[in-house]
Structure 1
């Protein structure tokens, strides 16, 4: 009986050791701060966003001016002229909203630019993470910068600097305000 219990305990310990997985985490926000191409892409996207937002604001300001002018002239206009001016204002407002949706909407121009500029960089980071995980025998790598909540993370498990080095950059301790 003792032999059976001993064998059972030994098999449980062996199976739990075999099931043990090696975890690590990275902070992609921290990593991306070290990639000059990413920072340049962000600047370019910010500039586009500001430019397009100014265009949207100008269009709505023009509509506001048309509306104010319409209100001033309303008593002097015939019914037909009023309807034409109202239709013009409504049409310009639709065009402005469509322009805004085209630039900033789901899968709009800004989204497409972000994909074009940032996706290759994110792919390089993902490849570097995968290579490090394979080289170091890691089973799971989590991203500290995303939706995952860390109540405690041992800094020894942080592989962010390894990824930065793998990408060919030098980790900057001043950016370590993780």
Structure 2
């Protein structure tokens, strides 16, 4: 009985050792793979361009608010209480508008998150699909990403399959391009249509901004004229009282 137990333990240990030895491990560097992909570079450029435009808009609005504040500080001694309150209300409105815009663009669930998902995640998913395909074909048990949170302190070069993943992506891309070779006219037409839509949206945005700006300037001019009228009336009254 004792010998049987010892034999069972030896068999169990041997099985575990065999399982450990047979496990196949692979390593990839996701950051390196993505950096070599033209699609990823283009997506990053598009995202950077959008974020740059949003930052420019924020800067423009911030400067406008600062200008309103400076103007109020300079003219405050000459303004009536009512006009001062109007100016303060306008500044408060612009500040709230700026805060909402900043939150909408760069908040936790802002447009930059949505754009990142739309532009970059599909490319990451494409890489992951190729990794899974290679894992099944080459019978890998585990594949770690050394550029992510996985703790990989050291690995031999032979375990790194990043170049293999890149080669597979390139091959899939060439096949895809070959399949689309006879559909160039349709693709070009879609590109032109997309470009036209983008230009229309850009023009509409510029028109909206211009209209909004003109409205603000018009309101400010009306307030200035009203103030000037009151001021002239006040000065005339004082002159009459002196005479």
TM-score range, shorter chain: 0.7 to 0.9
Q: Deviations over 1:89-123 (max 9, x none)?
A: 01101101111111122222222121111121111
2:83 and 2:113 mapped to 1: Cα distance? 41
Matches within 5 A, 1:143-162: 143-162=145-164
TM-score, normalization: structure 1?
0.87
TM-score, normalization: structure 2?
0.65
* 1:88 CA displacement: 0.8
2:52 and 2:27 mapped to 1: Cα distance? 35
* 1:19 CA displacement: 5.3
2:154 and 2:46 mapped to 1: Cα distance? 36
2:86 and 2:166 mapped to 1: Cα distance? 61
In structure 2, what is the equivalent of residue 35 of structure 1?
Answer: 37
1:144 and 1:11 mapped to 2: Cα distance? 33
2:170 and 2:54 mapped to 1: Cα distance? 35
Q: Deviations over 1:62-89 (max 9, x none)?
A: 0000000011111222222111111110
In structure 2, what is the equivalent of residue 176 of structure 1?
Answer: none
2:91 and 2:151 mapped to 1: Cα distance? 49
In structure 2, what is the equivalent of residue 130 of structure 1?
Answer: 132
Secondary structure of the corresponding residue to residue 167 of structure 1: helix
Q: Deviations over 1:3-47 (max 9, x none)?
A: 653442132111342355322221111000121111011111111
In structure 2, what is the equivalent of residue 175 of structure 1?
Answer: none
In structure 1, what is the equivalent of residue 123 of structure 2?
Answer: 121
Larger radius of gyration: 2
Matches within 5 A, 1:3-82: 4-18=5-19, 21-82=23-84
1:42 and 1:153 mapped to 2: Cα distance? 30
In structure 1, what is the equivalent of residue 103 of structure 2?
Answer: 101
RMSD: 1.7
Moved more, 35-44 or 77-86: 77-86
Secondary structure of the corresponding residue to residue 124 of structure 1: helix
In structure 1, what is the equivalent of residue 189 of structure 2?
Answer: none
Aligned positions, number? 169
2:74 and 2:50 mapped to 1: Cα distance? 36
